[in-house]
Structure 1
Amino acid sequence: MEEFISKMLVSDLIPIIFVMALGYFAGKANDFKSGDARILNKLVLDFALPAALFVSIVRADRSMLVENATLSIISLVGLVLLFMLSYFTIQWFFRRTKPEAAVCALIAGSPTIGFLGYAVLDPLYGTGVETGLVIAIVAIVVNAVTIPIGLYLLNAGGGAGADGAPKGNALLSAMKEPVVWVPILAVALVVIGIRVPDEVSPTFDLLAKANSSVAVFAAGLTLSAYAIELDWEVAYNTFFKLVFLPGVFLLAGWAGGLDDQILQMLVLSVALPPAFSGIIISSRFQVYTRTGTSSLAVSVLGFIVAAPTWVYLARLLGS
């Protein structure tokens, strides 16, 4: 277990913190203008992330989803219910508006699987089919279900566009976002049974490789514009993301009889820091930015303790 934790720190956590800190100090040193974070966020949200999601999702196939129906059902039901729980409770407890609650749910109620899934799980569990399966299923739910729901709620609640103008029809506006329709397209191809040739992957891979690094750097750059808040709301978001959400999945996966290693990977996947896509959407639409970035910063640091703890508990319960 000590070797496992050491590997996690060296391969996963330290690089994430280093790149985010690099973006943070670059912003503080005024190496980037105030609008540059939005440009980087747009690059990730409209191009790099959709490419990464498309490549990761189409690597799955219909039989994989059917054979692992329990994993798929737990991921779908669990993430959607907890997403909505975050959405409603932040309104009840902290009197947030519906657009703010939608962005909060995208942050506190969603793991950053599309950005860091492979970066975290591959060094620990290898690049086998099981690893790709867990990442693909969680990524499908987060990016083809909860992100569209979040964007719909953001627009339906009166959220403004990047230019401050009303977004019009909420569902139509959400479906226009590449981060929404690209993973839905990928899921449709998987369900229909259309296999995307492996030769196509390199076309998207070059752009997809920029996803994690640019997203983490942009998150640090965004964070540099705001003082980190340590209040009850940030504490609640951190608790919800790092403690409550993976705890629910640990019990659900154990009750569902998931394989020990798949259970570990699922719990670690949902325990990942808040979805960077939520921070990018927050920055792009200027909604819940200060508290959202603070929640991300605290959660990234908390993940250093949460990750090995949840892996240990998953191993203990699984055995």
Structure 2
Amino acid sequence: MEKILINDIVPIIVIMALGYIFGKLSYFDDDQRQGLNKLVLNVALPAALFISIVKATRSELGADATLTAIGFVGIIVMFMLCYYLCRLMFKHSIQEAAVCALIAGSPTIGFLGFAVLDPIYGDSVSTNLVIAIISIVVNAVTIPIGMYLINLGQAKDRERLSAAATTTAKGDVTVKAPAPKDDVAVDPAKDAKADKTVEVMVSKSSNMGKKKNQNLAAIINALKQPVCWAPLLAIVLVLIGVRVPDSFAPTFDLIAKANSGVAVLAAGLALATVKFSFSWETLWNTFYRLILTPAAFLGVGLLCGMGHDITKLSMLVMAVALPPAFSGIIISSRYNIYVKEGASTTAVSTVAFAVTCLLWIWLVPLCA
């Protein structure tokens, strides 16, 4: 366990702190910071997701039906529950709640999965199966869902603002268009700068005279993002049995290796741009990620009869008890949505994982 803390958790904290210091010293300007985020979100992260998923096989997914079912259904349910609770409890917009779910509702399985589970449980078929299942759901299902919700929320905001502006222009009634939330607010007097720092994932076409199918448009725009179609392509290849030659792996691995380090550094830079928020929301997100989610998986696993295989149940619980997915904070920083809460949640959860990791290793065998 000491090796895990020193080799895996401490480097994350140090690199994030380094990014925070760089941000406070203005070592990177806004354009450079956005460039780092774009590199991770559009190049390195899609490559990392693709190569991690295509290494799985259909036989792995079918090796344990109970584990696969709990992994797929559980991750999606906890993701959507996080989304709805964020909207209900903290009154956030659709896109803010979506980013919250990408952070507090998703574990960083691609980055810490093997690093944490292998030293504890060994490099076995069961370990690879658990990591593969959780990785596929997080990367190929919840990220596209989150991107879809972000696009849908942005589209609804634009339609509402457009309708208010049209009504005001006609002189029927004077309406003050509601300003977006703090994380996505844009000063009209600073449009030139806003175009660089507050990019939205949806097309900027006008809604004048047209009633668009917002759901379809949001889905299409989300699927255009490399971070969505890359993992989806990978899972399709796995399901139809197409194996990517091993000789291609180094090509993807080379750029994918930049993902984790740059993502953590960018998270620190994002934290430096906002006031750190050690609020009730940050504490709730940390509790949801590190305590509530693994507790739910532990309970469901016991109800589904996984108590006879304590090791596999413990691996499943540990896989979903990891800190927030760094893809969520990158999306947050890249599009300036839920930045303060997201960066604070990532920082606090990463530090707290050093304690909760030991808690679940001790608690799962006791409950089983």
TM bin, normalised by shorter chain, reads over 0.9
In the TM superposition, what whole-angstrom CA distance separates every residue of 1:53-96 from its partner, at most 9, and x where no partner exists? 22221111111111122111111111111111111111111111
Q: CA deviation at 1:172?
A: 0.7
For the 8 Å contact 2:99–2:338, the answer to whether it is kept is yes
The whole-number CA distance in structure 2 between the counterparts of 1:15 and 1:131 is: 23
Give 1:192's aligned residue: 240
Greater gyration radius = 2
The whole-number CA distance in structure 2 between the counterparts of 1:128 and 1:36 is: 41
Unaligned runs of 5+ in 1: none
Q: CA deviation at 1:116?
A: 2.4
Q: CA deviation at 1:163?
A: 5.0
The whole-number CA distance in structure 2 between the counterparts of 1:131 and 1:207 is: 25
Give 2:323's aligned residue: 273
Give 1:14's aligned residue: 10
The 5 A counterparts of 1:1-319 are 5-158=1-154, 163-164=198-199, 167-168=202-203, 169-258=217-306, 259-318=309-368
Instruction: Give the RMSD, CA atoms, in angstroms.
Output: 1.8
TM-score (normalised: structure 2): 0.81
Q: CA deviation at 1:210?
A: 1.4
The whole-number CA distance in structure 2 between the counterparts of 1:131 and 1:37 is: 36
The whole-number CA distance in structure 2 between the counterparts of 1:149 and 1:66 is: 24
For the 8 Å contact 1:99–1:157, the answer to whether it is kept is yes
In the TM superposition, what whole-angstrom CA distance separates every residue of 1:164-206 from its partner, at most 9, and x where no partner exists? 4571421011101111111111111111111222222111111
- CA 166–190 in structure 1, closer or farther in 2 if over 3 Å, else same: closer
* Farther-moved stretch of structure 1 (256-265 vs 110-119): 256-265
Q: CA deviation at 1:245?
A: 0.5
For the 8 Å contact 1:105–1:150, the answer to whether it is kept is yes
Amino acid of the structure 2 residue aligned with 1:220:
G
- CA 17–184 in structure 1, closer or farther in 2 if over 3 Å, else same: same
- Among the aligned pairs, what percent are the same residue? 54
For the 8 Å contact 1:87–1:105, the answer to whether it is kept is yes
TM-score (normalised: structure 1): 0.93
